[in-house]
């Protein structure tokens, strides 16, 4: 344990590793990022896009079938009235959380390394929320009446049920989506202006000119911008907690054994951040390679994210343990049964998949070798996302499938439409992400420039000598 592990050059106590490797100048940073938008798409990219879009078509097809035939096409029954639908919803909403955490909380904590990954993570958040939104939107059955979820004044005085956590979800998720989009867009403005200024074609100049809202990069502009950014960061910070808290209320306010437990809110939030960072790692590993951004999204960025995964994964493990302990300690037979049934009942395979993916495998991140190995990071990030899907499935289905009356006990199996819709949402997510990579700056160029040594007004980033002086002073 105590043996001093080999450290990345420069990352020793008192000295920070460089955030952008090589010999970058402001110009090369612009160049590296804007050229992705300006160059013609490669055949590989088009192939990828076509692949993603075909999965998206699977989603469209599943939805057409769903609307045409009704929710009955899913594998639900009277006992297990919620399964892959809400699992998919919570899965995607959870994934979104890394974006908000990186953009809001890490910003407030002055974590400068966030600048290379925040843009893509924020974009991912928005696409994940879109994928999540598909589920409740179509689960209402008549999707064209979806606006009924909002408290729209009407002649019949028909209101949504304000006491229902599902309605709180409507407010929580729509607020989250709105603020995430605002935050993302605000950050994009200076970079969009950069692309506008570099534009070689009229059309590009026009489109990015409109999108950049007349940004001129003036002193006054930057002053207002920084203030707005800070305020939005402050406002989004509670959102990191509130959205998944309300999602956890969907379950925890009920009296279903396995659902009603007070630790749910922070436990869900930790799980959401856990899965979100896993998805960011998965996407970033591919993106940095394909787009040639390895000097900006460095191994150290990935390593930091893997540490957050280890931390939040341990919190999730803590919650599993405490839930289990209190189920026993509480001495309520239904609770005790629910948890034993999770582990050893008909869905034992789901429970143990969840535990191994979420608690056991992430422990490998205790080792620096694993944290800095791209294949290991990639594999574990995917394992974590599988595990987090299982977590929601375990909570939802194993708690429901044993009803209070044994005659209503069932065993849920998904229908082909359950599966196709879930697979299809990946199509939506990936298509959107690929389009984002091509048409918008993937990395926040203006922010990256801000954390480079050249941007330090004191120009005293050469620690070594100064520090020695202090050490002996």
The answer to whether 71 and 141 are in contact (CB under 8 A) is yes
Q: Is 323 an interacting residue with respect to other proteins (CB under 8 A)?
A: yes
Residue with tokens 């499935």: 393
User: Of 61, 265, 345, 346, which one interacts with other proteins (CB under 8 A)?
Assistant: 265
User: Of 22, 69, 213, 460, which one interacts with other proteins (CB under 8 A)?
Assistant: 460
User: Of 316, 319, 383, 430, which one interacts with other proteins (CB under 8 A)?
Assistant: 319
Beta carbon of residue 233, minimum distance to other proteins (angstroms, whole number)? 12
Question: Which residue lies nearer to other proteins by CB, 294 or 460?
Answer: 460
CA distance 243 to 251: 14
Beta carbon of residue 222, minimum distance to other proteins (angstroms, whole number)? 12
Angle made by CA atoms 122, 125, 129, in degrees to the nearest 5? 150
Host H or E run for residue 431: helix 416-439
The answer to whether 257 and 340 are in contact (CB under 8 A) is no
The answer to whether 451 and 126 are in contact (CB under 8 A) is no
User: Of 6, 14, 43, 153, which one interacts with other proteins (CB under 8 A)?
Assistant: 14
Question: Measuring CA to CA, which residue among 164, 362, 186 is closest to residue 281?
Answer: 362
Q: Is 2 an interacting residue with respect to other proteins (CB under 8 A)?
A: yes
The dihedral of CA 122, 126, 127, 133: what is its sign? positive
Q: CA of 369: how far to CAs of 130, 328, 375, 381, 429, in Å?
A: 36, 38, 11, 15, 31
Beta carbon of residue 361, minimum distance to other proteins (angstroms, whole number)? 17
Q: Which stretch binds other proteins (CB under 8 A): 134-142, 144-152, 282-290, 326-334?
A: 326-334
User: Of 219, 331, 405, 413, which one interacts with other proteins (CB under 8 A)?
Assistant: 331
User: Of 47, 332, 340, 423, which one interacts with other proteins (CB under 8 A)?
Assistant: 332
Question: Which residue lies nearer to other proteins by CB, 14 or 43?
Answer: 14
CA distance 258 to 256: 6
The answer to whether 261 and 342 are in contact (CB under 8 A) is no
Question: Which residue lies nearer to other proteins by CB, 199 or 338?
Answer: 338
User: Of 194, 212, 314, 398, which one interacts with other proteins (CB under 8 A)?
Assistant: 314
CA distance 294 to 285: 9
Start-to-end C-alpha separation, the chain: 33
User: Of 150, 366, 367, 439, which one interacts with other proteins (CB under 8 A)?
Assistant: 366
Greatest alpha-carbon pair distance for the chain in Å reads 80
Q: Is 337 an interacting residue with respect to other proteins (CB under 8 A)?
A: no
The Cβ-side half-sphere exposure at 469, using a 13 Å CA radius, reads 5
Q: Is 226 an interacting residue with respect to other proteins (CB under 8 A)?
A: yes
Counting residues that bind other proteins (by CB under 8 A) gives 46
Q: In the window 234-263, what residues touch other proteins (CB under 8 A)?
A: 238, 241, 245, 249, 252-255, 260-263
Q: Which stretch binds other proteins (CB under 8 A): 5-13, 26-34, 134-142, 196-204?
A: 5-13
Question: Which residue lies nearer to other proteins by CB, 236 or 431?
Answer: 236
Q: Which residues bind other proteins (CB under 8 A)?
A: 1-2, 4-5, 12-15, 108, 110, 226, 238, 241, 245, 249, 252-255, 260-266, 314, 318-319, 322-323, 326, 329-332, 366, 458, 460, 463, 466-467, 470-473
């Amino acid at each position: 344990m105590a043996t001093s592990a080999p450290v990345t050059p420069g990352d020793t106590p008192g000295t920070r590793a460089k955030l952008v490797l090589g010999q970058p100048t402001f110009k090369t940073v612009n160049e590296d990022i804007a050229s992705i938008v300006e160059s013609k798409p490669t055949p590989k990219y088009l192939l990828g896009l076509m692949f993603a879009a075909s999965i998206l078509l699977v989603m469209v097809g599943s939805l057409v079938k769903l609307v045409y035939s009704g929710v009955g096409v899913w594998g639900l029954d009277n006992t297990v009235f919620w399964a892959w639908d809400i699992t998919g919803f919570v899965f995607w909403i959870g994934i979104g959380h890394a974006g908000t955490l990186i953009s809001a909380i890490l910003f407030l904590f002055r974590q400068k390394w966030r600048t290379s990954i925040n843009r893509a993570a924020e974009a991912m958040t928005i696409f994940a929320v879109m994928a999540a939104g598909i589920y409740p939107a179509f689960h209402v059955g008549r999707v064209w009446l979806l606006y009924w979820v909002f408290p729209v004044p009407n002649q019949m005085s028909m209101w949504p049920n304000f006491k229902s956590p599902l309605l709180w979800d409507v407010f929580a998720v729509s607020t989250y989506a709105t603020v995430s989009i605002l935050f993302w867009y605000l950050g994009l403005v200076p970079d969009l202006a950069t692309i506008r200024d570099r534009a070689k074609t009229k059309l590009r100049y026009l489109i990015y000119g409109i999108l950049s809202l007349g940004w001129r990069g003036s002193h006054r502009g930057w002053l207002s911008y920084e203030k707005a950014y800070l305020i939005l960061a402050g406002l989004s910070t509670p959102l990191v907690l509130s959205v998944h808290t309300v999602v956890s209320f969907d379950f925890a306010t009920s009296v279903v054994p396995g659902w009603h437990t007070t630790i749910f809110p922070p436990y869900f939030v930790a799980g959401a951040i856990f899965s979100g960072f896993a998805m960011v790692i998965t996407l970033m590993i591919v993106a940095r390679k394909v787009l040639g951004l390895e000097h900006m999204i460095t191994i150290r960025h990935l390593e930091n994210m893997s540490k957050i995964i280890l931390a939040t994964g341990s919190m999730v493990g803590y919650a599993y343990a405490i839930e289990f302990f209190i189920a026993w300690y509480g001495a309520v037979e239904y609770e005790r049964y629910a948890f034993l049934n999770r582990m050893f009942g008909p869905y034992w395979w789901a429970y143990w998949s969840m535990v191994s993916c979420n608690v056991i495998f992430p422990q490998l991140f205790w080792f620096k070798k694993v944290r800095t190995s791209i294949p290991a990071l990639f594999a574990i990030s995917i394992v974590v996302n599988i595990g987090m899907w299982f977590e929601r499935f375990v909570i939802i289905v194993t708690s429901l499938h044993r009803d209070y009356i044994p005659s209503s006990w069932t065993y849920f199996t998904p229908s082909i439409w359950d599966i196709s819709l879930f697979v299809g949402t990946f199509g939506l997510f990936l298509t959107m992400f690929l389009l984002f990579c091509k048409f918008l700056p993937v990395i926040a160029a203006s922010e990256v420039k801000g954390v480079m040594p050249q941007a330090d007004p004191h120009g005293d980033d050469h620690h070594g000598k100064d520090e020695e002086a202090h050490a002996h002073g």
